[in-house]
Structure 1
Amino acid sequence: MSTPAAPRLAYVDNLRLWLTVLVVLHHAAVVYSPLAVWPYSEPDRGPTSILLLLFLVVNQMWFMSAFFAISGLFAPGSVDRKGARAFSLDRFRRLGIPLLAFVVVLNPLMNLHDYPAADTGTSPLGWWLGIAKPQYMWFVETLLVMSLVYAGWRYLRRGRPATPVVAQGLPRPRTTVAFAAGLTAVVWLWRIIVPSETIWPVVGLPTPDHLPLYVTFFWLGTLALRRSWLDALTVRAAWTGAAAAVAGSAVYVAVAFAAPVAFAGRGSWQSLLTSAATVAAALGLTAAALVLFRTWFAAQGPPLRFLADNAYAVYFVHGPVLVLLALLLAPIDAPAVAKFALLAVTALPVCWAAARGVRAIPGARRVL
């Protein structure tokens, strides 16, 4: 007997929508920040670029972990209904096809402006092979791997429910603190061998030092809905999480700017502090965001439903849109924050318009 689909949670949809907006804003800020890690960037935009760097640092501490947690919420029920094999095939369709399309088509479009200058004399195939990588689709790539591992684990359990659907309260505060301490230790130890400045170019993961967080949050997501943790989160828990996140962010920024080499990892005490700060921010802000959206953004009328339905497609197309618009805005001479604001307010509606256009392609809605 098949398990009925879980009801769609509008506030979780709305939170996922907001996280997608944050992704677009994050990459728009990279264009004018001191970090030259985007296919097109303007790193010399004056002192206000430091404000963008601060935004990037704090944002990176939590928002992708929250994305993985949301991605894990409905995986158990989906495997219950479809079985591990059908679930895996669906993940290949929903994640693998967009990933392949990005590497083959969209990533070259993002880098096309640099082709003549960067690779004069290189054949088009050689140039394409040189830049063929997931870019920001590393999230989709990593989520695909996590989903397949989860499906494999469920297959070994021969279809038994991963977690009984039972109403449970949140873990006790001391249990939560112990869990956070244990995760901090794991992150700190991981960063001994994978310091914060590490990049995995072949895999495409730009922040491999966060990998323990991503795996943990996906796993927490697979537990949260069935154990009723989302309903059990209180306003008090949200305020506590927000306070922990503010404190963690302050510690992280202070240590990172005071000791930019020592904080990166390799077993230093600075790395221990920033690991604890990152865990506090990730757990705290995710909990606070869930309560905030459950309390104030639980409804979803047609406008929000349209934006939420197209959010995944926006994630898919936003890179080329940002590069194109940044190139068009290049002649404007303005401080970093001003150019970021101009790019952001221009890019967001264009991204949703482009996403709707892509989803209008026959068969695209089955994937995006």
Structure 2
Amino acid sequence: MSVTGNTAPRFTALGYLRAFITLLVVAHHAVLAYHPYAPPPTAMDAPSWLWTAFPVVDAHRFAGVDLFVGFNDAFFMALMFLLSGLFAWPSLRRKAAVPYVRGRLLRLGAPFLWAAALVAPLAYYPTYLQGGGEGVAGFVHAWLSLGAWPAGPAWFLWVLLVFDAIAALVYRLAPNAPDVIGQWLSLRAPLACFGVFALVASIAYVALALAVDPFQWAHAGPFFVQTSRVLLYACYFAVGVVLGASGVANGLLAEGGRLARRWIGWTVATPVAYLVLVVAFVMVVSNPHPSNMLVVFTDVAFVISGLVSSFAALAIFLRFATRPVRMFDSLSRDAFGIYLLHYPFVTWLQFALLGLAWPGAVKGMLVFVGAVTLSWGTVAVYRRVRTAHVRIAAYS
């Protein structure tokens, strides 16, 4: 199942999980303005680019939401890459490498450019206003003066497109490689698969996290990516490709399979793993000169926490979300559009609520509900207009 494609009925659980993660993304962005440790609002030309992560900052905070944000940050985008890789190999077998890449360029590249050129500026205009800017002309000048143009959440699309292109190249060079690894994994218990995945992912992440600032974003033009996580995301995508190559329905991710039957254990392990990460992180940030061993332990804890959360999410949805539900079908179908469009609704709603003396928790929930409703409604209207246009064209 690609994050941008339709989900066949037999993969209902994975489609619903994709939609759930999309809602988590919206919720994550909706509450950042009320994060207890959010930085003060700054002008767009300030040396710090923290405004790209916190476009609007409210004086009213949401106590405890930092735990929610940190929990999401450890796993949800990585899991999106895994879900996106699941059906890459079947698609490559069906289409061949060149047509596959061409299709992904249309499906991912075009929306990315559109989001970078239009959606992101709309989302960051409230940032400019809160930083003291005035007028559209002034914003355009400030935006073009940046030298790089953050694309907001759409960064995921261009990174996924690169991974897809690499997968196509591997398909041309070694078309059977993922099948062999996937079949080996499909015969192993979930805990054994977790162990192999954890080892590879930890090496991939720690290697970069020690070399660069874990919070640093590399960028060129509209192409942004969190530097320390590139290999980690590649790891998740590759695991998705391998699992998909051996057949999702009969492997580790089979609905009602071995992973699904052990959903309780993975669910219980999730807060435990996250608690270990939180404690380790607090120890690092509270120590002016943390030891290398403590830093490495924290990096590994980050990987383990994210991986446990990912396995738990997969297990829960594979166990319980196997029957189609009309509303969830609609949400799953429109998840890609919601992901693309939600950010301007989030920032403008946050900006509109700045003058109200309401608790940050109330504002955060209102922004979340409003952003989901408005972005989902926009996608639904677009679908209706497009369908009507096609029907008119057919009868003209």
Please, what TM-score do these two structures have when normalized by structure 2? Answer: 0.80
The question of whether the paired residues in 2 share the 8 Å contact of 1:91 and 1:147 is answered with yes
Q: CA 1:178–1:151 in structure 2 vs 1: closer, same or farther (change >3 Å)?
A: closer
Tell me whether 1:337 sits opposite 2:357 in the alignment: no
1:140 — aligned with what?
A: 157
Counterpart for residue 41 of structure 1: 56
Q: Which residue is equivalent to 1:292?
A: 316
Deviations 1:205-234 (A, max 9, x none): 453322222111111111223431112433
d(CA) in 2 for partners of 1:217, 1:353:
31
What is the CA distance between 1:170 and its match in structure 2? 2.6
CA spacing shift, 1:43–1:194, aligned 2, 3 Å? farther
Which string of whole-angstrom CA distances, capped at 9 and with x for unpartnered residues, describes residues 256-309 of structure 1?
Answer: 2232276999x8222222222222222222222122112211112322111111
How far is 1:145 from its partner? Answer: 0.7
Which of 66, 70, 83 does residue 79 from structure 2 map onto? 66
Give SS of 1:225's match. helix
Q: Displacement of 1:166 after TM fit?
A: 5.3
**Seq. identity, %:** 22
Contact 1:68-1:143 within 8 A present in 2 as well: yes
- Following the alignment from structure 1 to structure 2, what is the Cα–Cα distance between the partners of residues 276 and 303? 38
* Matching residue of 2:253: 230
Number of residue pairs the alignment of both structures matches: 357
Question: Corresponding residue for 1:75?
Answer: 88
Alpha-carbon shift at residue 129 of structure 1 (Å): 5.5
Gaps of 5+ in 2: 1-6, 40-50, 391-396
Q: What is the 5 A alignment of 1:247-262?
A: 247-260=272-285
C-alpha deviation, 1:360, in angstroms? 4.7
* Unpaired segments ≥5 residues, structure 1: none
Which of 230, 245, 263 is the matching residue for 2:270?
245
> Map of 1:7-22 to 2, 5 A cutoff?
8-22=10-24
Among 70, 89, 108, the residue aligned to 2:121: 108
Match in the other structure for 1:318: 342
How far apart are residue 24 of structure 1 and its match? 0.2
Q: Give the match for residue 352 of structure 1.
A: 376
In the aligned structure 1, how far is the partner of 2:270 from the partner of 2:60?
29
Question: Aligned-pair distance for 1:350?
Answer: 1.6
One-letter amino acid of the structure 1 residue matched with residue 333 of structure 2: D
Change (3 A) 1:262 1:163: farther
Q: Is the 8 A contact 1:230 1:290 kept in 2?
A: yes
> Greater shift after overlay, 224-233 or 305-314?
224-233
Moved more, 76-85 or 277-286: 277-286
The runs of at least 4 aligned residues of structure 1 exceeding 6 Å deviation read 261-265
Report the aligned-residue RMSD: 3.1
Residues 197, 264 of structure 1: 8 Å contact kept? no
The structure-2 alpha-carbon separation of the partners of 1:16 and 1:314, relative to structure 1 and needing over 3 Å to count, comes to same
- The SS at the match of 1:197 is coil
Maintained 8 Å contact 1:80/1:161:
no
Would the alpha carbon gap of residues 16 and 262 (structure 1) be closer, same or farther in structure 2, given more than 3 Å must change? farther
More moved, 84-93 vs 319-328: 319-328
Alpha carbons of 1:156 and 1:175: their partners in 2 closer, same or farther (altered >3 Å)?
Answer: closer
Q: Does structure 2 retain, via aligned residues, the 8 Å contact 1:115–1:127?
A: no
